[in-house]
Each structure stands twice: as C-alpha cells, then as structure tokens.
Structure 1
Amino acid sequence: MEQDNRPIRWGIIGCGNVTELKSGPAFNKVQGSELLAVMRRDRAKLADYAERHGVPKTYANADALIQDPEIDAIYVATPPGSHREYALKIAAADKHCCLEKPMALNFAECEEIAAAFAGRDAQLFVAYYRRSLPRFNQVKAWLDEGKIGDVRHINWSYARTPSAVDLSAEYNWRTDPAVSGGGHFVDLACHGLDLFIYLLGDIRDARGIAVNQQNLYDVEDAVSACWVFDNGATGSGFWNFGCAEYGDEVIIHGSRGSIRFSVFADAALVLESANGSEHVEIPHPENIQFFHIENMVKHLNGTGRHPVAGAEGGKASRVMDQILAGLVG
C-alpha cells in the first residue's frame, strides 16, 4: 500500500531489552520512519526509555497506544504469549503490525493472526530480520547463482552452556511455555528455521525428538530433528543448551560444493566450489533490525516488498510444532 510523504509513525508495545539496540533506534534511523510512542507497564522504566531514546509519547496501557490516531504501525516486542491478543487488537484498529519472533505460541495462533490481517490494508510482518541482512542475502545469491549446484542437504549444529539464569531458581519467561511456547529451542531455533525456508523454500515435513537432560526447568533442553523441503532437499539439526562450549555452524551441501555460515555469530561466510574457497566477511549492522525495518517501510510505501509479510511469518512455527511433537518424557 502507498503512504503520503510523511514518515510512517511507529509505536512500540514492550520497550524492553530487545528494543534498546537491536531495533528501537533504527525506527528513527531508517528514512521515512519515526518512533513516536512507546508502551511499558512499569512507568519508571517507560519514562527512562523515552528520555534516553527521545520518544515523545509514552503509554502504560497498550490499548491506548493502539487507538492513538497518530500511530500508523505498531511493533509488538513482548514475549510470544501476548502476540495473539495484541495482533488481533491492532488488526481491528486497521494499524500495521510487526510481531517479534516467533510469531505466536504455536502455528494455530499464527494462522488466526494472519487471517485477521488478510484482506485488510493493514499489513502484518514478523521480525525474522535475518532475511533482510546482507550476510544472508549473500548466501541466497550464491544459491540462486548455482554456485554449489543442486542443494542436497542442510545441517545446523547449535550448542551452548547453560546460562546463569538457567542454573538459578530465578524465573525466566523463555523457559515458561505458557509465555514463550517452549524453551530456548523455540526462542532461538525459529531464527534459523525461518532463514532456511527463505534460502531453500518451504519445508514439507519435519520430525524430531526433544528431551530434558538437565532438569533445570520444565521444558526441553535438547532437540534433534530432520526435515524435507518441497524441492526434495533434506535437512537436519541439533540444539543443546547444556554443553561445555558454544558452537553454531550451518553447512549447506550441494552437488558441486558447499556453503558454511553461522546463524548467530558474526563469522565469515565460506563458499567451497569448483573455483576454490571464498571467505566473505559481512558484519552485522549496529542495529541488527535496521534492514528489516527499512524493508517494512519500503513495503508500506509501495517501493519494495518485505520478505516476511503475512502468513509467511508462521511457517517456522509450523515446523517447530512438528519437531516438538516428538517430546519424550
């Protein structure tokens, strides 16, 4: 849809840590965009955030922000357990909406949210910002150019040590399935699975085994999975949150080469092909959601298309639901 010449005026529901550097400042840095209002229930933290980031309007009530006639678009930066509620209210108010990832607690909620925006001028986006990052678009370019031939398999190995919060008795919403939809797997794996769908196409079917090895919390901390894409390529992965050291590596195997990269680390992209090895360094931007926000603005102005619009944002949740159906114990 097309806008007039004024900036798209954004409001944020939930101005917590994810908005401090990753996203919040970029709403003012992107051309044609303005961060006009923020909402948080804690009034002291709300006032502090608004002062530090130069945001003119503050709300302690989400409904009031949603109904503000000066707000064009709303970024929901709360945990997934509240995404459905806020998204349906934003759709009813005919405002554009960007949901933090994952899109909702499960795929059924994602479908309900997408249906609420279908047929409206109001647009729906999900903050799978890796689809907009130059480093991963370099990987996509190599694939589209046939640098490694036909893709045969993709594997992602992810491991890390337990966090200090995991080892304590402190409450962590990321391991409360009523709020997060699962454990650290849901919080982190969705980024990579969504990226793989972007790079290689839709995942037709997935299977998994999930267990709790450490008993530090009540959800899975170790997951293994395999899947198949619509084009016949296969995939596999493991995610473990109780290992001795950190690791994050993706390998795409092709008929004539391979590509290696990390989903989260700012590591080199490595292309192995008939022409030899190529190492490419593409650092993350200061505000990692900058290009994602820029693409939303272009989409709303009719000058581009965002890669995670509408129902596209629920595809990773569908895959995770399939994988976690194999929860053991």
Structure 2
Amino acid sequence: MRYLLLLLITLSMTLPTASGQPSPLRVGVVGLTHTHVHGIFNSEGRGDIEIVGIVEPNDTLAQRYADQYGFAKELVYPTLETMLAAQQPTAVTAFGTIYDHLGIVEVCAPLGIHVMVEKPLAVSLEHARRMQELAEQHDIHLLTNYETTWYPTNHRAYELLKQDSLIGALRKVIVRDGHRGPKKIGVDPEFLEWLTDPELNGGGALTDFGCYGANLMTWLMDNERPLTVTAVTQQQQAENNPLVDDEALIILTYPEAVAVIQASWNWPIGRKDMEIYGLQGVIYADNRQDLRVRKPVGYDGFTEEEYTLDDRSTPYDDPFSYLAAVIDGRVEVKPTDLSALQNNMIVMEILDAAVRSATSGQTIQLK
C-alpha cells in the first residue's frame, strides 16, 4: 500500500501547464492549532500552491477555519495517513505542535513527500537528528519557516555586511525578538495550550523566540558553529506561564565575534530586530522594512543613512511560494540559507546547549 501511495504521489508532482508555467504545488496542511496557519491560507491566492487536504481531528476548530476561509469540510481529514492516501500531496506544511514535527517527517519522508515546518525545526536536538536522518535518507526537502526569513531588511543587512569596506569585520550581533507573552496578546486557546507546554513546545520564550536569533546568526556566520553557548532564563509571568521560561538571554561566542540573543515574552511592544556591529560601523534592521547604517565620526558622533525597503521579489517574499519554487527546481537551497536543514541543525545545537546552560548555570562548549 505504501509503495502504491508513493507511485501516486510521484505521478501527481507539479507539471508545467500549457502556458509553460508550473502548476500549483499540491500541499497538505497538517494541523490548525498553530495560528501561523493563517499565512498559508492567505498565500494560496497567489497561485503558487493549492491546498488539497487538511489534517485536523478537532471538528470545531476545523469548522472555524472552514467558515473563515471558505473551504469545504470534505477537505479535512482526521489523520495524516488518510489525507495522504486520499490526496497525494507533493508537500506538507506543519501547523501543529513542535513535538509533532518528527512524526510528520517519519510518515512523509519514506513516501518522498517534502516537508516545511514552522520554526523551530524540532522540539529537541534528538528529534532534529532523526528528522535530518530521514530527510537525507529519502532525499526530501525539509525546510524551516521563520517570519524573519522574508524580511527585506535582514537580506539587505546581510549584503551590506559582506561588503567588507562598509562596516568592516563582524564583531557583535544583537537580536531581539518577542512580545508581551502568548496569553497577554490573546493567542487562540488551542495555540496557548501547547505553546506554554514544555514537552510540546520544547520550552517557553527560549524556544519560541531564541530560535530566531540562532537562525540569523548562523546565517550571518555562514554556518560556523559557536564555540560556547551561555544562557540565563527567568519566569517573570508565573501566573501566565507556570511551566516554562518567559525570559531568555543567550550569548554565543565565536573566535572573533559574539552574539547576544534576547528572547522574551515580556517586551511591552512586539519586536523582531537586529543590530550588526563591525569594526567600522553598525547596521540596524529595525523591522521588516526599515534599515539604518551608522558610520562613526570622532568619539561618539556618527553619520546615519536610512532606508525603507520594498518586499523582496517573488518567490523570496513568501514561504509557500518559496517552497513551490524549491520543489520545482527554480530555487536551489544552499546549506547556509535561513530555511535550510543544515542551518537549522546548528540552530537546534544552540537551543539544546542554551537549555542545558540555563539549567546548569554553566557555559556549554560545543565540540
């Protein structure tokens, strides 16, 4: 039965249309409890993907999304296996708990079905290593989606950093991510239930937002692993997050650079920003669109240039358009890319070390 399913999936892979354009990628959506799932429903209208099946055992939740986005309830299946057998998608996207990611890859990889998960890659380094093994064994794409991957400011900052004459050699990066906390910002109850569960999410703010900085720094460092990881966590909202940390500070050291990752569910204002310091200047990626470059003048003076950037061109402005382009061969995923498995395995090493450091009170050296 599994071999027949693999054959059907292979035959249903995207083919060029009469106009020469690739047909939409057939995608299955696995889970509706992660509210980032709104992104794929909103993306479908671009024409790069077609949602052919949805896995969600919670009928009430599935009906809520069906009412909002107008899809037929017949598109919803109780299990991953029944959806795959009925619809033969080319790829699936994971929008359940982080713990679920391994199980999805265990089912999909042997069938040759590509997988995109929401950040982080896995709930633990152990899960991540098994996922990597399966992806490589069965030659599937296993991508990780971060909101900040699609920020034009981050990509412009990367380009400016690589121009050695602009800010000089990299010495320090500060990445800040987070918001007031899941309960305070009013996330849906089905999301809150697992987001604050240490087993299903792998931790609290350290996992939820620490992964952004680890991903970006690994990218800036061209997949160089840090020498050491030191982390401190706190629980400042015990009434809202009784089982997990909600404040995390992670310090990464490299031979000639350092990164400071501030992951928090206690910011008064939501933020995703980055500062890149070189020997001769600093780049501020303030948000998705706004970027600044400062060059020193005298002791504490500086000149500053400000940029407001347009979104990147298709398919580099949307995770699901990107997924379609990767699978049909229009885009090659480099090991250092933000979505790449190799980058995100290093991210998982960093998060694992950060958890161990925060628990033990010791700096962890990565061998």
Cα offset, 1:89, TM superposition:
0.6
* Structure ranking higher on relative contact order (CA contacts 8 Å, 6+ apart): 1
When residues 110 and 45 of structure 1 are mapped into structure 2, their CA distance, relative to the original with a 3 A threshold, is same
- Residue 45 of structure 1 aligns with an amino acid whose one-letter code is L
**What is the DSSP-based 3-state SS (H/G/I as helix, E as strand, rest coil) of the residue aligned with 1:253?**
strand
Separation in 2 of the partners of 1:157 and 1:133?
Answer: 15
Counterpart residue number, 1:23 = 40
Q: 2:233 aligns with which of 191, 210, 220?
A: 210
Structure 1 position 309 matched with structure 2 position 330:
no
On the 8 A contact 1:211/1:327 being kept in 2, the answer is no
On the 8 A contact 2:210/2:261 being kept in 1, the answer is no
1:1-329 to structure 2, matched below 5 A, reads 3-5=14-16, 6-16=23-33, 17-20=35-38, 22-31=39-48, 33-50=49-66, 52-55=68-71, 57-146=75-164, 147-158=166-177, 160-162=179-181, 164=183, 172-202=193-223, 203-204=225-226, 205-216=228-239, 217-229=242-254, 232-242=256-266, 249-262=273-286, 265-266=287-288, 268-273=290-295, 276-282=303-309, 290-306=317-333, 307=337, 308-328=339-359
On the 8 A contact 1:190/1:320 being kept in 2, the answer is yes
When residues 289 and 186 of structure 1 are mapped into structure 2, their CA distance, relative to the original with a 3 A threshold, is farther
Separation in 2 of the partners of 1:117 and 1:290?
Answer: 25
When residues 302 and 35 of structure 1 are mapped into structure 2, their CA distance, relative to the original with a 3 A threshold, is same
Separation in 1 of the partners of 2:178 and 2:142?
Answer: 32
**What is the DSSP-based 3-state SS (H/G/I as helix, E as strand, rest coil) of the residue aligned with 1:219?**
coil
**What is the DSSP-based 3-state SS (H/G/I as helix, E as strand, rest coil) of the residue aligned with 1:182?**
coil
State which structure, 1 or 2, has the greater radius of gyration over its C-alpha atoms. 2
Give CA deviations for 1:104-124 in whole Å, capped at 9, x if unaligned.
Answer: 111121111011010434321
- Residue 108 of structure 2 aligns with an amino acid whose one-letter code is I
Separation in 2 of the partners of 1:319 and 1:118?
Answer: 21
On the 8 A contact 1:99/1:125 being kept in 2, the answer is yes
**What is the DSSP-based 3-state SS (H/G/I as helix, E as strand, rest coil) of the residue aligned with 1:109?**
helix
Cα offset, 1:280, TM superposition:
1.6
**Which runs of 5 or more residues in structure 1 are unaligned?**
none
- Residue 76 of structure 2 aligns with an amino acid whose one-letter code is T
When residues 36 and 244 of structure 1 are mapped into structure 2, their CA distance, relative to the original with a 3 A threshold, is closer
On the 8 A contact 2:205/2:248 being kept in 1, the answer is no
When residues 118 and 68 of structure 1 are mapped into structure 2, their CA distance, relative to the original with a 3 A threshold, is farther
Give the structure-1-normalised TM-score: 0.85
Cα offset, 1:178, TM superposition:
0.7
When residues 118 and 221 of structure 1 are mapped into structure 2, their CA distance, relative to the original with a 3 A threshold, is same
When residues 309 and 27 of structure 1 are mapped into structure 2, their CA distance, relative to the original with a 3 A threshold, is farther
Separation in 1 of the partners of 2:137 and 2:308?
Answer: 41
**Which runs of 5 or more residues in structure 2 are unaligned?**
1-9, 17-22, 297-301, 361-367
Percent identity at matched positions?
16
Separation in 2 of the partners of 1:70 and 1:240?
Answer: 40
**What is the DSSP-based 3-state SS (H/G/I as helix, E as strand, rest coil) of the residue aligned with 2:29?**
strand
Cα offset, 1:15, TM superposition:
2.6
- Structure (1 or 2) with the greater helix fraction: 2
Aligned length in residues: 321
On the 8 A contact 1:133/1:291 being kept in 2, the answer is no
Deviates more, 1:319-328 or 1:109-118: 319-328
Give CA deviations for 1:163-213 in whole Å, capped at 9, x if unaligned.
Answer: 54599xx86322211110001221122123212222233332322122334
Cα offset, 1:87, TM superposition:
1.4
Cα offset, 1:224, TM superposition:
2.1
On the 8 A contact 2:230/2:354 being kept in 1, the answer is yes
**What is the DSSP-based 3-state SS (H/G/I as helix, E as strand, rest coil) of the residue aligned with 1:295?**
helix
Separation in 2 of the partners of 1:122 and 1:156?
Answer: 31
**What is the DSSP-based 3-state SS (H/G/I as helix, E as strand, rest coil) of the residue aligned with 2:96?**
coil
Note the aligned Cα RMSD (angstroms). 3.1
Cα offset, 1:222, TM superposition:
2.5
